[in-house]
């Protein structure tokens, strides 16, 4: 019976060890559960160490983003203010430039109209169509009884000059071509006075404007091209074409930057002559 007793003791010992293992495992589970419950309670109270550590890190990131956003806002505000000041100065400068240009254009236009009026006046004086009516000295004779009653002369009515500048210059050229024949005037006549030689007719130039470019004397000229402008009095001006219009061009003198308007008619009749020059 002794061997059986030993087997029974070993069985009881193994069972006792198994019960101890289960009890230890249960104790570990309860301890782990209690730890988790404690951590959950600390988390709800905000005292959990891991929670505080992560909250601190999030707070640092939050403050850093706020600081970066404030710096970015400040930078953008300064950039907008600089752009505003720059655009404002540019607008004021453009306004002043346009105002000066408008004034110069109006002055040049008025000067051109003034010259045209003076040319018309000179033309009228040359052709003898003066508006002034001079009194005619006549001798009054006694009227015979059977003579009809003389009809008084009516005053000469003023003429309306509706000719264009080009038509007037064409008439002048025609008059210059006509000269008085010496045979029509008697040499013995007391009123015979040698006449001055007539001027040669004005040279004609081909000038027209197409597609914003000037075609003059078999050459094309465009905006911003450097040229020489020669007038009838042999004055030579260095200038640049600033604008090509529909019936005229504007040039800017390189000496004082003043502008002049030149009509196609003036170029065609040779009042102004254009020569090319190399740009400086």
Structural domain count, the chain:
1
Radius of gyration of the chain from Cα atoms?
55
What string of DSSP letters covers 154-189?
Answer: PPPPPPP----HHHHHHHHHHHHH----GGGS-TT-
Q: Say how many C-beta atoms besides its own lie within 10 A of residue 255's C-beta.
A: 9
Range of the domain at 252: 207-276
Q: What is residue 240's predicted lDDT score, i.e. its pLDDT?
A: 92
In a domain, 45, yes or no: no
In eight-state DSSP terms, residue 152 is P
In a domain, 232, yes or no: yes
In a domain, 101, yes or no: no
What gap in Å lies between CA 113 and CA 106, rounded to an integer?
Answer: 10
Choice among 100-109, 123-132, 192-201, 244-253 with the minimum mean pLDDT: 192-201
In a domain, 260, yes or no: yes
In a domain, 111, yes or no: no
To the question of pTM greater than 0.85 for the whole model, the response is: no
Kindly report, residue by residue over 181-222, the tens digit of the pLDDT: 444 444 444 444 343 344 444 567 889 999 889 999 889 999
Kindly report, residue by residue over 64-89, the tens digit of the pLDDT: 999 999 999 999 999 999 999 999 99
For helices 49-127 and 165-177, what crossing angle results, to 10°?
Answer: 30
Q: What is residue 68's predicted lDDT score, i.e. its pLDDT?
A: 95
What string of DSSP letters covers 124-148?
Answer: HHHHT--S--PPPP----PPPTTSP
We report the CATH number of the domain holding residue 224 as 2.30.30
Task: Give the residue from 231, 230, 234, 223 showing the smallest Cα distance to 279.
Answer: 223
Q: What is residue 134's predicted lDDT score, i.e. its pLDDT?
A: 45
For range 268-273, the mean pLDDT: 87
More confident residue, 248 or 277: 248
Q: What is residue 81's predicted lDDT score, i.e. its pLDDT?
A: 94
């Amino acid at each position: 019976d002794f061997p059986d007793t030993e087997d029974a003791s070993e069985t009881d010992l193994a069972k006792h060890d198994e019960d101890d293992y289960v009890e230890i495992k249960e104790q570990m589970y309860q301890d782990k559960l209690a730890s988790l419950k404690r951590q959950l309670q600390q988390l709800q109270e905000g005292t959990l160490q891991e929670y505080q550590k992560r909250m601190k890190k999030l707070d640092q990131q939050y403050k850093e983003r706020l600081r970066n956003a404030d710096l970015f806002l400040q930078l953008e505000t300064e950039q907008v203010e600089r752009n505003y000041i720059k655009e404002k100065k540019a607008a004021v400068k453009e306004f002043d430039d346009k105002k000066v240009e408008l004034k110069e254009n109006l002055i040049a236009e008025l000067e051109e109209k003034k010259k045209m009026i003076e040319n018309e006046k000179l033309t009228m004086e040359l052709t003898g169509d003066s508006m002034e009516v001079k009194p005619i000295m006549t001798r009054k004779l006694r009227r015979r009884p059977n003579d009809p009653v003389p009809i008084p002369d009516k005053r000469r009515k003023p003429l309306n000059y509706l000719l264009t500048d080009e038509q007037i210059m064409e008439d002048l050229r025609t008059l210059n071509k006509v000269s008085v024949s010496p045979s029509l005037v008697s040499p013995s006549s007391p009123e015979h006075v040698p006449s001055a030689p007539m001027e040669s007719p004005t040279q004609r130039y081909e000038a027209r404007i197409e597609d914003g470019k000037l075609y003059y004397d078999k050459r094309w000229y465009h905006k911003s091209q450097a040229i020489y402008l020669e007038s009838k009095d042999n004055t030579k001006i260095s200038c640049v074409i600033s604008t090509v219009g529909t019936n005229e061009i504007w040039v800017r003198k390189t000496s004082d930057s003043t502008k002049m308007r030149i009509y196609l008619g003036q170029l065609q009749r040779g009042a102004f002559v254009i020569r090319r020059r190399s740009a400086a």
